[in-house]
Amino acid sequence: MNSPPSLYRRAAFRWLLSLVAVSAFTLLSGCDRLPGFLNPGGPIAHAQREHLGFVILMVMIVVLPVLVLTPWLVWRYRYSGQASYRPRWSFSKLIDVLIWGVPVIVVGVLSVVLWQKTIALDPYKPIESDKTPLEVQVIGFDWKWLFIYPDQGVATLGRLILPTDRPVSFTLTSATVMQTFFIPALGSQIDVMNRMVTRLHLIAEREGDFMGRNIQYNGEGFYKQQFTTQTVSQNRFDTYIDQIRTQGHTLDQGAYALLKAQNTWKDVANALSDDPPPPAPMVAFSQVPDGLFHAIARHQPVDWAGLAESSDAASNTSERAIQERNTQ
Amino acid sequence: MTDESSFLLGRLGWDALPFWDMIQNPTRESIINGIIASGAAGMVVLGALAAAALITWYGKWKVLWCDWLTSVDHKKIGIMFIVIALLMLLRAVIEAAFMRAQQAFGLGGGFLSPEHYGQLFTTHGTIMIFFMAMPFLTGLINFVMPLQIGARDLSFPVLNSVSFGLTAAGAALMMISLVLAPFSTGGWTGYPPFTELQANPGPGVDYWIWGVTLSTLSSTFSGINFAVTIYKKRAPGMTLMRMPLFCWTALCTSILMIFGMPPLTVATGLLALDRYLDFHMFTADLGGNMMNYINLFWAFGHPEVYILILPAFGVFSEVFSTFSGKRLYGYTALVIATMAIAVLSFTVWLHHFFTMGQSAHINAVFGIATMLIGIPTGVKIFDWMLTMYRGRVRLTVPMVYAVGFLILFSIGGLSGIILATPSIDYQIHNSLFLVAHFHNMLIPGLLFGMLAGYTYWFSKAFGFQLDARWGYRAAWSWIVGFMLAFFPLYALGLLGMPRRTVAFFDPVYLPWTIAAGLGALIILYAIVCLMAQLWVSIKRRDALATPGGDPWDGRSLEWDTPSPVPEYNFPVLPQVNSHDAFYRQKCDGAPHESPARYEPITIPKNTAMGVIIGVSGTAVGFGLTWHMWWLALAFSAVALVAMIARGFARNTTWTLDAEAIERQQRAWAHQLEQFEPITRQWEQSEANRGVPVPPNEGAIQ
């Protein structure tokens, strides 16, 4: 008995889907260690990967006929062949409707999804969660990133420690030329510029070490401007922060001069002859001048005097106020 | 050498020599990089000396000066543009091969220093865009467009020569920068504040600024020249909607040049003010804003993409129609699509910096605008496929490029739509995925188009065909080499590998970078094939000659002339009654109709303006780069005086008398009768003398 044609079509569609899934799987299988968003570590990268698959499938509606029909046309209408020859035929209304119409529909569908996804995955949009977001201030130096945890009053270099399942709210600027902050497995990249403040929201859904880096060329040490993003449970996170608070360096003028120099975080670590607390390797700062981020972003003098008796609470409130002003 | 203080040499010192660092601090790295850089510099110097020696040996200085450098003939200027393009292509491909080799060995190090690598990707990009692609397409339009619209020259022949001089000056600066280094490491986009004094005080960025400025001035003038020519100098009866599609794409490209080039001239000019006169246009402090530069740059940069691709679309339109022996499918739709692309190209520049922190709504609007361009482009692809449909497809060398283009360009279109989607772009911006995408558009698109056009019109310029066997080798090597070199970069980009990185630390990337390195080797082989093709063809030029002028059974007016084309192009301006004007004549059985009476023709005289402006441009750029203020001032004065003096020149034309024209045309007509007309089966053989069997006698079937 013949099955109805729609069943055939559905079967063919299912086969196509499984083909795509299998090839995607082979690409990813055994590749837990694959860097990048194809092996996502958070919902944003997940959504980006999904959207990529959707766009590829949609555009294939237009591209696949080109890939298949072009070789066929060359063969079918070859010079030595016997296919029909109509040298004056140069227009068909029906075909024209088709070749304009199909791309219009495809782009239409893509546009609707693009609009929704662009707004849903906007890096400036805070991530909805019942937990309060962790604030992290990121400062790009020449060939290293400084991560300040204003609520905790500490800072790190070379390693970004984040709790899982808790939104992270980044506030970013550059102390030098333009660069771009990027943790592919967690989500979007964002440019950082001197005298400007940009924002980024990410969340990690599993524990692990993820590659993070600068992806905008900024000179000789660009290729070394990488860091490890380590995602841990909230308890672990708190332990690490406590250890940094008790065992870290003070980010004083000497240390700051090291940061301003053109070098990598490993050079800074060597210069401080550091013995950092776990999770090494990194550079840990137990004390950060009040409003350091603000001072760098706005080209204002850094308040070194308050370093000794800095109180976390005071600095937090002032930072918050600045951030809110910036986002408006 | 003292720095800064020298009046004569400015800040030029011994350390500008590429081997200086190697001698002063001999480490393994400095020696390897010094040898590579000195080898390149040596090739430039030796190449220039060898060229000068050969010209002297054959006593051709006078020919070079009178017949080429001072000529204002659009065909000769076009050919000279393409010579520059091919030379610069050779250099930039070699640079690309070094970069691919570096990344193939780049796990944790490689052999190039980061500084050297930075210069390589900056010169590669700058050369490929401004000194390969732009001269190639400008040269092709220069040569072909006036012939296709039935004109005798461009509207402003002297300006055309000046345009050439400016491009040559920029190219010369690029070559000089190999000998007296360094060049910029700021990428072909030159984003400040990295290119400002504070981060990069050396001469590198200044080389880049003046090279690019000369090139953009040249292209603006060319754009004006082409647009006016198309508006004003079409043959009688050649309405706009009867123009061959290549002329339409030339028109759209010219309009884009006129509006798209000045923003970059302004941007590099403002950057120069920052660097030379302590302005603060794009600095971080004192009120500067780098975003202004980035907007200006891409206000040029995006139209530029279509400046590059549209002429290639024009070439492919001619190629598909000619080698399918069939009318172009959907001419009107193709014209509309070309215009739509030209207009839309001004509305999408923001997609080059989705990640800069603007609101999601703005990103979404520009993302959708970008995808809209995919619609007319898709239509064009299908129009070319439908041109083959029910045709008689001859897989000649230009056609191999064209078919390769159709398939590969569609894949590039797919990756373009992916990058146009902001939420995905946040993952792959600045990665190798982006590099793969624009090479996917520019190699199968622009470069295949230019090489197809070069093969297609070569015999029109020189009177003999290019050897087909080496042509096929080159074309297939380009296609295979491109796929092997750039498809791995898509994967690397998705895996988060940045562009412009000298080395990497994740072994996952290694197999892909090795594959890409092999692809680069195949592309190098393709370049060798192109050189061999030229050599073999020149050797066999008598056997490959096509003096009949119509080797491909062509359809437009340029095939109505002898090959090579006489200086005046057409003895009398042709009367046009339809599309495919020359094909129509052949169908009516009356090609090359001789007029009742020949008229004398007025031809513009040679002028040294192009050479003067070119030499001055090089000297001014070089002087400014190295702070030799006297040199810059002196040659600015030379250029100014020359321009004013030119204004007083009165005797600027000469007249070719009617008898001479009649004699030449008679001789050609006589020659045509001697040749055996051939069917298309023999078009790439020595039997092809440029005289096809007429269509109604079965040229195709």
CATH number of the domain residue B368 falls in:
1.20.210.10
Band of pLDDT at residue A3, cut at 50, 70 and 90? very low
Co-location of B2 and B94 in the same domain: no
Co-location of A139 and A288 in the same domain: yes
State the smallest CA–CA distance between residue A127 and chain B in angstroms.
Answer: 15
- Estimate to the nearest angstrom the gap between the alpha carbon of B580 and the chain centroid: 26
Mutate to test the interface with A, among B195, B382, B499 (most CBs of A within 10 A): B382
Asked if B330's CB is within 8 angstroms of A79's CB, the reply is no
What are φ and ψ of residue A45, in 5° steps?
-60, -35
| CA-angle at B73, arms to B71 and B76, nearest 5° | 80
Of the ranges A20-24, A275-279, B519-523, B544-548, which one carries the lowest mean pLDDT score? A20-24
Asked if residues B219 and B257 have their Cβ atoms less than 8 Å apart, the reply is yes
Q: Does B309 score more than 50 pLDDT? A: yes
Which residue carries 């006036």 as its tokens? B146
- Among A120, A155, A190, the domain-final residue is A120
Secondary element (H or E) of residue B653: strand B653-656
Co-location of B179 and B41 in the same domain: no
Question: What's the pLDDT tens digit per position in B601-655?
Answer: 999 999 999 999 999 999 999 999 999 999 999 999 999 999 999 999 999 999 9
Asked if A51's CB is within 8 angstroms of B424's CB, the reply is yes
Contact A178/B at CB under 8 A: yes
| Active site annotation includes B500 | no
Contact B696/A at CB under 8 A: no
Co-location of A175 and A323 in the same domain: yes
Question: What's the pLDDT tens digit per position in A30-49?
Answer: 456 788 999 999 999 999 99
State the smallest CA–CA distance between residue A238 and chain B in angstroms.
Answer: 30
Band of pLDDT at residue A280, cut at 50, 70 and 90? confident
Co-location of B40 and B142 in the same domain: no
Q: Residue B591 has what pLDDT?
A: 84
Mutate to test the interface with B, among A51, A59, A139, A225 (most CBs of B within 10 A): A59
- Using DSSP, state whether B654 is helix, strand or coil: strand
Task: Give the Cα separation of A217 and B200 in Å (integer).
Answer: 13
Band of pLDDT at residue B5, cut at 50, 70 and 90? low
Percent of chain B whose pLDDT exceeds 70: 99
Asked if residues B396 and B323 have their Cβ atoms less than 8 Å apart, the reply is yes
ipTM over 0.90: yes
Which residues from chain A sit within 8 angstroms of residue B403, using beta carbons?
70-71, 74
| Average pLDDT value for residue range B298-313 | 96
DSSP string, B17-36: STTHHHHHS--HHHHHHHHH
Q: Does A321 score more than 90 pLDDT? A: no
Contact A263/B at CB under 8 A: no
Q: Residue B46 has what pLDDT?
A: 96
Q: Residue B698 has what pLDDT?
A: 65
Co-location of A293 and A165 in the same domain: yes
Task: Give the Cα separation of A134 and B193 in Å (integer).
Answer: 31
| Segments forming the whole domain that contains residue B4 | 1-59
The dihedral over CA atoms of A61, A62, A64, A65, expressed in degrees to the nearest 10, equals: 110
Q: Residue B699 has what pLDDT?
A: 61
Q: B593: which residues sit within 8 A by CB, 6+ positions away?
A: B585
- For chain A, what is the largest distance between any 2 Cα atoms, rounded to a whole number of angstroms? 92
Asked if B371's CB is within 8 angstroms of A107's CB, the reply is yes
Contact A79/B at CB under 8 A: yes
Co-location of B49 and B171 in the same domain: no
Question: What's the pLDDT tens digit per position in B324-345?
Answer: 999 999 999 999 999 999 999 9
Percent of chain A whose pLDDT exceeds 70: 83
Q: Residue A1 has what pLDDT?
A: 38
* Residue type present at position B125: G
Supply the CATH number for residue A285's domain. 2.60.40.420
DSSP designation for A155: E
Q: Residue A122 has what pLDDT?
A: 96
Question: What's the pLDDT tens digit per position in B442-468?
Answer: 999 999 999 999 999 999 999 999 999
Number of C-beta neighbours around residue B38 at 10 A: 18
Contact B327/A at CB under 8 A: yes
Task: Give the Cα separation of B69 and A81 in Å (integer).
Answer: 48
| Average pLDDT value for residue range B553-579 | 93
Which residues from chain A sit within 8 angstroms of residue B410, using beta carbons?
62-63, 66-67
Tokens of B383: 């129009």
Band of pLDDT at residue B675, cut at 50, 70 and 90? very high
Chain B, 563 to 622: residues with Cβ < 8 Å from chain A are none
Residue B41: inside a domain:
yes
Q: A52: which residues sit within 8 A by CB, 6+ positions away?
A: B418, B424, B427
Task: Give the Cα separation of A46 and B424 in Å (integer).
Answer: 11
Which residue carries 């979404």 as its tokens? B364
Residue B140: inside a domain:
yes
Q: Residue B596 has what pLDDT?
A: 83
Q: Does B364 score more than 90 pLDDT? A: yes
Task: Give the Cα separation of B47 and B183 in Å (integer).
Answer: 20
Co-location of B16 and B80 in the same domain: no
Q: Which residue has the higher pLDDT, A216 or A280?
A: A216
Q: Residue B40 has what pLDDT?
A: 94
Q: Does B301 score more than 50 pLDDT? A: yes
Task: Give the Cα separation of A172 and A190 in Å (integer).
Answer: 9
Q: Residue A309 has what pLDDT?
A: 53
Q: Count structural domains, chain A.
A: 2
State the smallest CA–CA distance between residue A242 and chain B in angstroms.
Answer: 31
- Using DSSP, state whether A142 is helix, strand or coil: coil
Residue B595: inside a domain:
no
Which residues from chain A sit within 8 angstroms of residue B391, using beta carbons?
77, 85, 87
What are φ and ψ of residue A227, in 5° steps?
-150, 165
Contact A72/B at CB under 8 A: no
Co-location of B94 and B46 in the same domain: no
| Active site annotation includes B345 | no
Residue A64: closest CA among B331, B333, B421, B381: B381
Q: Residue B165 has what pLDDT?
A: 98
Band of pLDDT at residue A322, cut at 50, 70 and 90? very low
Contact A243/B at CB under 8 A: no
DSSP string, B450-496: HHHHHHHHHHHHHSBPPPHHHHHHHHHHHHHHHHHHHHHHHHHHHTT
Co-location of B170 and B136 in the same domain: yes
Asked if B356's CB is within 8 angstroms of A55's CB, the reply is no
Q: Count structural domains, chain B.
A: 2
Query: B458 - beta bridge partners?
Result: none
Of the ranges A214-223, A279-288, B80-89, B526-535, which one carries the lowest mean pLDDT score? A279-288
| Active site annotation includes B302 | yes
Three state DSSP letters for B370-389: HHHHHHHHHHHHHHHHHHHC
Co-location of A111 and A232 in the same domain: no
Co-location of A147 and A115 in the same domain: no
Band of pLDDT at residue A308, cut at 50, 70 and 90? low
C-alpha atoms less than 13 angstroms from C-alpha of A127 in its C-beta half-sphere: 26
Count Cβ atoms within 10 A of the Cβ of residue B564 and give its class: 0-12 exposed, 13-18 middle, 19 or more buried. middle
Q: Does B404 score more than 80 pLDDT? A: yes
Residue A283: closest CA among A293, A295, A270: A270
Closest CA in chain A for residue B113:
A220
Residue B449: inside a domain:
yes
Co-location of A186 and A269 in the same domain: yes
Co-location of B363 and B339 in the same domain: yes
Q: Residue B174 has what pLDDT?
A: 96
Task: Give the Cα separation of B588 and B480 in Å (integer).
Answer: 43
Q: B48: which residues sit within 8 A by CB, 6+ positions away?
A: none
| Active site annotation includes B219 | yes
| Active site annotation includes B163 | no
| Average pLDDT value for residue range A237-243 | 95
Q: Does A142 score more than 60 pLDDT? A: yes
Task: Give the Cα separation of A82 and B96 in Å (integer).
Answer: 45
| Catalytic annotation, pick one of B117, B188, B384, B552 | B188
Number of C-beta neighbours around residue A252 at 10 A: 15
Residue B548: closest CA among B640, B667, B646: B667
Which residues from chain B sit within 8 angstroms of residue A183, using beta carbons?
none
The dihedral over CA atoms of A76, A78, A82, A84, expressed in degrees to the nearest 10, equals: 70
Contact A82/B at CB under 8 A: no
Peptide linkage before A5 cis (omega within 30 of 0): no
Contact B435/A at CB under 8 A: no
Co-location of B103 and B165 in the same domain: yes
Chain A, 188 to 217: residues with Cβ < 8 Å from chain B are 188-191, 193-196, 198-199, 211, 213-217
Question: What's the pLDDT tens digit per position in B505-538?
Answer: 999 999 999 999 999 999 999 999 999 999 999 9
Closest CA in chain A for residue B188:
A217
Co-location of A27 and A96 in the same domain: yes
| Segments forming the whole domain that contains residue A140 | 134-327
Co-location of A190 and A215 in the same domain: yes
Residue A231: closest CA among A207, A201, A260: A207
Asked if A85's CB is within 8 angstroms of B391's CB, the reply is yes
Q: Does B697 score more than 80 pLDDT? A: no
Task: Give the Cα separation of B699 and B701 in Å (integer).
Answer: 6
Which residue carries 């509006």 as its tokens? B259
- Using DSSP, state whether B12 is helix, strand or coil: coil
| Active site annotation includes B578 | no
Q: Does B86 score more than 50 pLDDT? A: yes
Residue A88: inside a domain:
yes
Residue B171: closest CA among B133, B226, B121, B118: B133
Residue B640: inside a domain:
no
Task: Give the Cα separation of A177 and B364 in Å (integer).
Answer: 27
Contact A13/B at CB under 8 A: no
* Residue type present at position B15: D
Q: Residue A319 has what pLDDT?
A: 45
Secondary element (H or E) of residue B438: helix B432-441
Residue A176: closest CA among A146, A203, A156: A146
Band of pLDDT at residue B348, cut at 50, 70 and 90? very high
Tokens of B314: 């024009």
Q: Does A24 score more than 80 pLDDT? A: no
Peptide linkage before B694 cis (omega within 30 of 0): no
Question: What's the pLDDT tens digit per position in B103-127?
Answer: 999 998 889 999 999 999 999 999 9
H helices of chain A, in order, are: 5-28, 43-76, 93-120, 234-247, 253-260, 265-271, 292-298, 312-327
Band of pLDDT at residue B1, cut at 50, 70 and 90? very low
- What burial letters (b/e) apply to B629-647, b meaning 16+ CB within 10 Å? eebbeebbebbeebeeebe
What are φ and ψ of residue B427, in 5° steps?
-95, -30
- Among A64, A92, A120, the domain-final residue is A120
Band of pLDDT at residue B592, cut at 50, 70 and 90? confident
- Phi-psi region for residue B357, left (φ > 0), alpha (ψ -120 to 50) or beta? left
Co-location of B148 and B9 in the same domain: no
| Catalytic annotation, pick one of B21, B29, B153, B467 | B153
Co-location of B419 and B487 in the same domain: yes
Tokens of B274: 């920052």
Secondary element (H or E) of residue A199: strand A198-202
Residue B628: inside a domain:
no
Which residues from chain A sit within 8 angstroms of residue B357, using beta carbons?
123-124, 190-191, 196, 198-199
| Average pLDDT of chain B to the nearest whole number | 94
Q: Residue B440 has what pLDDT?
A: 97
Which residues from chain B sit within 8 angstroms of residue A187, using beta carbons?
426-427
Contact A236/B at CB under 8 A: no
Co-location of A183 and A308 in the same domain: yes
Band of pLDDT at residue B390, cut at 50, 70 and 90? very high
Which residues from chain B sit within 8 angstroms of residue A73, using beta carbons?
385, 388-389, 393
Task: Give the Cα separation of A6 and A13 in Å (integer).
Answer: 10
Task: Give the Cα separation of B158 and B457 in Å (integer).
Answer: 24
Residue B135: closest CA among B167, B93, B162, B176: B167
Co-location of A99 and A197 in the same domain: no
DSSP string, B189-237: TT-TTTTSTTT--SSHHHHHHHHHHHHHHHHHHHHHHHHHHHHH-PPTT
Mutate to test the interface with A, among B196, B426, B428 (most CBs of A within 10 A): B426
Mutate to test the interface with B, among A49, A60, A66, A260 (most CBs of B within 10 A): A66
- Among A87, A120, A153, the domain-final residue is A120
Q: Does B696 score more than 60 pLDDT? A: yes
Co-location of B36 and B90 in the same domain: no
- Among B545, B567, B598, the domain-final residue is B545
Which residues from chain B sit within 8 angstroms of residue A47, using beta carbons?
423
